[in-house]
Amino acid sequence: MLTTERLVACFSRPTKVCPDISAQLRMRKASLMGRLFFAGLIYSVLATSAADGSVIVGATSVVNPPGIGSFGFENTINQSGLSVAYVSGVTNFDSYLAINPTHFGDNFTEGYTSSEPTVSFDYDLGQTFEIGRLALWFSRFPRSANPSQIRVYTSLTSDFASAFDAGTFFPNDGRSGPAGTPAPVQVFNLADSQARYIRLQVLSKFEDFGVFFSEIAFATTPDSAPVPEPAAISLVLPFIAGMACLRRKRKASDRKTTPLS
């Protein structure tokens, strides 16, 4: 007969008093540890995916636009002409590119300067970021002088006194498609650097009619973001913790006790 005293004894000393209940308790503990492990596994995967994702950021201002014969370079950072808008500092860079955002250019959505290469365009991101990639949209108007060679510098200060050379690139001519149709985005992998200011230096162009381009944005992660732990460690930690807890419970339940009379 299972009296109140015996029931209390079963929970306090299950191994010796009630082996059948002890087995059930061990199974429940193992099930709980398994659930904790898989919960930790799912959390680790989601945390790692979030940490690995870059966000798209647009500049807050054009610091030093070219002088005489220049206009509209605020259009290159205000998303005017983009087929799909993004939220700067929030939208995932790769997810945004996956929807193939295009740009339809005209005098109200592009930047233009009559200055000849070499000519530079400086952008302020508003805060320091880890810069990884550059997204660039060109014009498809027949006489648009899209850049054919660009160099990108990054800097922590607006004077670029200690500029970092993030790479030299050779874009495709944006006029390669039908005139008056939206232009696709071109993406360039920059050498990683921490910076607030970006300088786009145009070294050459496709047409002898000034310099055009339509929109510019960057793949970034905030410089202040914590460094994520390695994925392997984050996946193993929940399992180690669960096994340690289970081992302690087993040791406690297997201690020698005096059977009740």
For residue 210, which phi and psi values (nearest 5 degrees)? Answer: 70, -160
Q: What is the 3-state secondary structure (H, E, C) of 196-240?
A: EEEEEEEEEECCCCCEEECEEEEEEEECCCCCCCCHHHHHHHHHH
For 56-115, write each residue's pLDDT tens digit.
999 999 987 776 566 778 889 999 889 999 999 999 999 999 999 999 876 667 777 778
Q: Which pLDDT band holds residue 2 (cuts at 50, 70, 90)?
A: very low
For 127-146, write each residue's pLDDT tens digit.
999 999 999 998 776 666 78
159 within 8 A of 200, measured Cβ to Cβ? no
Answer whether residue 216 shows pLDDT above 90: yes
CA 118 to CA 139: how far, in whole Å? Answer: 19
For 227-236, write each residue's pLDDT tens digit.
444 444 445 4
> Which percentage of the chain shows pLDDT scores above 90?
39
148, β-bridge pairs: none
User: pTM value?
Assistant: 0.65
